[in-house]
Chains A and B, each alone.
Chain A
Amino acid sequence: MDLLRFATAGSVDDGKSTLIGRLLLDSKAIFEDQLEAVEATSRTKGYDYTDLALLTDGLRSEREQGITIDVAYRYFATPRRKFIIADTPGHVQYTRNMVTGASTADLGLVLVDARQGLTEQSRRHAVILSLLRVPHLVLAVNKMDLVGFDEQVFEAIREDFVAFAARLDVPDLEVIPISALKGDNVVTRSASMPWYEGPSLLHHLEHVHIASDRDLRDVRFPVQYVVRPKSDDHHDYRGYAGRVAGGVLKRGDEVMVLPSGLTTRVAGIDLFDEEVEEAFPPMSVVVRLEDDLDVSRGDMVCRPHNAPEATQDVDAMVCWMTREPLRPRQKLAIKHTTRSARAVVKDIRYRLDINTLHRDPEGSELGLNEIGRVTLRTTQQLLLDPYEHNRTTGSFILVDEATGSTVGAGMVN
């Protein structure tokens, strides 16, 4: 059994919470006491049916307002896979929450209401998922029951979306007609839509091929922590702990350590008390090197002729996440893999309209929830890969040094 992380975005009106509630309910991830609590609340509020959205809206303010504000994580499993859902709000004022949910997702699920077709909101979700390089996309055309399960309605929305997605980077797209409320094509194939020959949503989630999404060629091992027991039993032990971000690291491999550029060989790879032959993403291991080099947190182990770029100049797409706008000459803390530095904003080259993909070069600042192309200069070299090649070594966060808050998310161009 493996693990699939997927992100959903949308509002209650799209039936997103109903869909998640349905997946949880049908995979028995919801317990009787949770269901009873939701049924009781639905009755108190005078609803005609059980509002499954109440299962996912966890905070008091969200239940009061009847909207999802923050990212909520949900869990369910089938015999084939364990799933982690990052459930995010759909409104433009919560773009940063959508970006957060998409950052770790293997798959993004965009919901549209069959009666309305594509909306600005559904296009925006697709743009964000594509910017965050979520490798698999599913468009679920919901509320098919309300359009009489009409194939023509579905086909028109599908064609509309395929045309739009052609302008984005969408490596894998599946379009599925569903009714979350009635359960059609959610877990099992619907008898009401015999014209649809594809998989049910859950079947697709269980079978989508994610093994090839990782980069298994380019070795990237950011050193996280140096393990030195300084005990009598392990007097000379010196290991470099970290999580493999790319490639397959093998014992005996010739490696280079950045930023020093010194080369050595892998003496051994430890996984707790056993030694393993190789390590691959996303394994957390301890790597021992043959030579006694000066290696510390923030350094990166790679292969001699396959290294990330070591640079103080960063060109990236940045999503801005706080009220006070991002402006040129602003100074921030930056964290990239295990390396922290300071950065100054050199230029905001353009602001991206995430509804139309239009680039606005006039924008001299980035406001809350805006995404733009930004150049930064950092106090020390960062070891960067383009985000499109590696989502771990191509991403960074920006932190406000005064408040300590995370204020920006960056993806290296």
Chain B
Amino acid sequence: MPSRADYRLSHLEELESESIHILREVVAEVEKPVLMFSGGKDSIVMLRLAEKAFHPAKLPFPLLQVDTGLDFPEVLETRDHWVARLGARLVVASVEDAIASGVVVDDGRTSRNRMQTATLLDAIEAHGFTAAFGGGRRDEEKARAKERVYSHRDEFGQWDPKNQRPELWSLYNGRLHAGEHLRIFPLSNWTELDVWHYLARERVELPSIYFAHRRRVFERDGMLLSEHPANPCRDGEVVTERTVRFRTVGDLSLTGCVESSATTLEEVVEEVSLARVTERGATRGDDRFSEAAMEDRKKEGYF
């Protein structure tokens, strides 16, 4: 409990307080918020903060998940437990459905991850959401380092990095025109290690794939990928069984895992604090295309 002689908060308490302030500010000011929930560790932190921000009331907004059709089953299971425990409303926007209805074109070359953007924008528009909470952090990637907590998107869902609203003190500007929306990033000031310290403190349920387990994997571009029908091996790639865990959770075909023996939150914290490669560099094929891969995807309307 943060009560002590010197009236100081720990850095985790201060980050938590800042994020809760942002969540409440959006709900107080913006008409129709939604929380983008992937089931990954960052969105679980988001859900925990939202639970705390509005307690003892239920969440004053639904959750939106973009289902790539290639999600890890362990992640969907955790999602369902959280939704049931909080009595939350879940909206699922499916990439498969978007392809079927022509919103998204599957040309056989574009990754599922990239098709998520169009599906997401379509769902935001269809439901009339005006603010979408995301678990993005500024430490993840250098384009994200420049992003505001309240990130304004035009009627095409685009981010204009050179024309962002100044964001001063903790005074956020939630003003919108019809058709525009905001992406809200309450975890902007958190690092990967902060997230893990917080999860270790809160002891909430996480998908089991974040912890060491046996898995059939093969190597591609220096990453370890899961054996899966959607992920056929190419020539020369050999499947072996190893003890691994995931550092990030995206779609199955792009998210790599790392060899690890960390089976508890404490061991994961220990491992993350010793890691010498960023989580995205180590395990995300989608960020490896160019130095500005994230900036380009974000301009189009990615998370």
User: Which residues of A are interface residues toward B (Cβ below 8 A)?
Assistant: 1-3, 28, 31-34, 37, 41, 55-61, 63, 69-75, 77, 81-82, 84, 96-97, 99-100, 103-104, 211, 214, 216, 224-225, 227-231, 233-234, 237, 241-243, 248, 270-274, 276-278, 280, 282-284, 286, 297, 321, 333, 335-336, 338, 391-392, 395-397, 399, 404-406, 409
Which A residues touch B194, using CB under 8 A? 82
Partner of B9, one of A77, A81, A282: A282
Which A residues touch B58, using CB under 8 A? 229, 231
On whether A59 and B295 interact (CB within 8 A), knowing A70-B161, A243-B170, A321-B166, the answer reads yes
Which B residues touch A391, using CB under 8 A? 169
Which A residues touch B51, using CB under 8 A? 272
B3 within 8 A of A: yes
Closest 3 CB pairs of A and B: A58-B142, A33-B281, A404-B175
Can you list 10 A-B contacts with CB-CB less than 8 angstroms, sorted by A residue number?
A: A57-B142, A70-B164, A73-B188, A82-B194, A227-B54, A278-B3, A282-B14, A282-B17, A333-B175, A335-B173
CA gap between A83 and B142 in the complex, in Å: 17
Interface residues of B in 136-182 (CB under 8 A from A): 138-139, 142-146, 152, 161-162, 164-171, 173, 175-177
On whether A228 and B57 interact (CB within 8 A), knowing A2-B14, A32-B277, A282-B18, the answer reads yes
Partner of A59, one of B24, B27, B162, B167: B162
| A-B pairs with beta carbons under 8 A, tally | 190
Partner of A104, one of B21, B142, B169: B169
Partner of A229, one of B57, B152, B166, B176: B57
| Residue pair B17, A243 in contact (C-beta under 8 Å) | yes
B8 within 8 A of A: yes
Contact with A along B237-254 (1 / 0, CB 8 A): 000000000000000000
| Residue pair B8, A31 in contact (C-beta under 8 Å) | no
| Residue pair B161, A59 in contact (C-beta under 8 Å) | yes
| Residue pair B55, A273 in contact (C-beta under 8 Å) | yes
Which A residues touch B16, using CB under 8 A? 284
On whether A284 and B169 interact (CB within 8 A), knowing A33-B282, A41-B291, the answer reads no
| Residue pair B166, A96 in contact (C-beta under 8 Å) | yes
Closest chain B CB from A239 CB (angstroms):
8
| Residue pair B145, A31 in contact (C-beta under 8 Å) | no
CA gap between A81 and B53 in the complex, in Å: 26
| Residue pair A73, B165 in contact (C-beta under 8 Å) | no
Q: Which residue on chain B has the smallest CB distance to residue A229?
A: B57
Partner of B171, one of A1, A280, A396: A396
On whether A75 and B57 interact (CB within 8 A), knowing A103-B168, A406-B166, the answer reads no
Contact with A along B1-30 (1 / 0, CB 8 A): 111001111110111111011001101100
CA gap between A335 and B171 in the complex, in Å: 7
CA gap between A211 and B17 in the complex, in Å: 17
| Residue pair B171, A72 in contact (C-beta under 8 Å) | no
CA gap between A37 and B294 in the complex, in Å: 15
Partner of B162, one of A61, A74, A283, A404: A61
CA gap between A99 and B51 in the complex, in Å: 34
B260 within 8 A of A: no
Q: What 16 new A-B contacts, CB under 8 Å, besides A100-B167, A392-B169?
A: A31-B281, A37-B291, A58-B146, A70-B161, A77-B193, A211-B7, A224-B25, A237-B56, A248-B7, A271-B2, A282-B21, A284-B16, A284-B20, A395-B171, A396-B171, A399-B175
* Chain B interface size, under 10 / 10 to 19 / 20 to 34 / 35 or more: 35 or more
CA gap between A31 and B58 in the complex, in Å: 40
Which A residues touch B295, using CB under 8 A? 58-60
Which A residues touch B191, using CB under 8 A? 75, 77
| Residue pair A73, B168 in contact (C-beta under 8 Å) | no
User: Which residues of B are interface residues toward A (Cβ below 8 A)?
Assistant: 1-3, 6-11, 13-18, 20-21, 24-25, 27-28, 51-58, 138-139, 142-146, 152, 161-162, 164-171, 173, 175-177, 188-189, 191, 193-194, 275-278, 281-282, 291-292, 295
Closest chain A CB from B273 CB (angstroms):
9
| Residue pair A395, B168 in contact (C-beta under 8 Å) | yes
CA gap between A254 and B20 in the complex, in Å: 26
CA gap between A336 and B53 in the complex, in Å: 21
| Residue pair A397, B278 in contact (C-beta under 8 Å) | no
| Residue pair B145, A58 in contact (C-beta under 8 Å) | yes
CA gap between A287 and B20 in the complex, in Å: 15
Q: Which residue on chain B has the smallest CB distance to residue A334?
A: B171
| Residue pair B28, A338 in contact (C-beta under 8 Å) | yes
Q: Which residue on chain A has the smallest CB distance to residue B142?
A: A58
On whether A33 and B278 interact (CB within 8 A), knowing A59-B295, A75-B138, A284-B21, the answer reads yes
Which B residues touch A60, using CB under 8 A? 291-292, 295
| Residue pair A274, B7 in contact (C-beta under 8 Å) | no
Closest chain B CB from A243 CB (angstroms):
5
CA gap between A276 and B9 in the complex, in Å: 14
CA gap between A254 and B54 in the complex, in Å: 25
Which B residues touch A3, using CB under 8 A? 9, 11, 14-15
CA gap between A343 and B40 in the complex, in Å: 44
CA gap between A321 and B188 in the complex, in Å: 23
Closest chain B CB from A78 CB (angstroms):
11
Q: Which residue on chain B has the smallest CB distance to residue A273?
A: B55
Which B residues touch A61, using CB under 8 A? 162
Closest chain B CB from A285 CB (angstroms):
9
Closest chain A CB from B29 CB (angstroms):
8
| Residue pair A224, B146 in contact (C-beta under 8 Å) | no
Which B residues touch A271, using CB under 8 A? 1-2
CA gap between A41 and B146 in the complex, in Å: 20
CA gap between A274 and B142 in the complex, in Å: 38
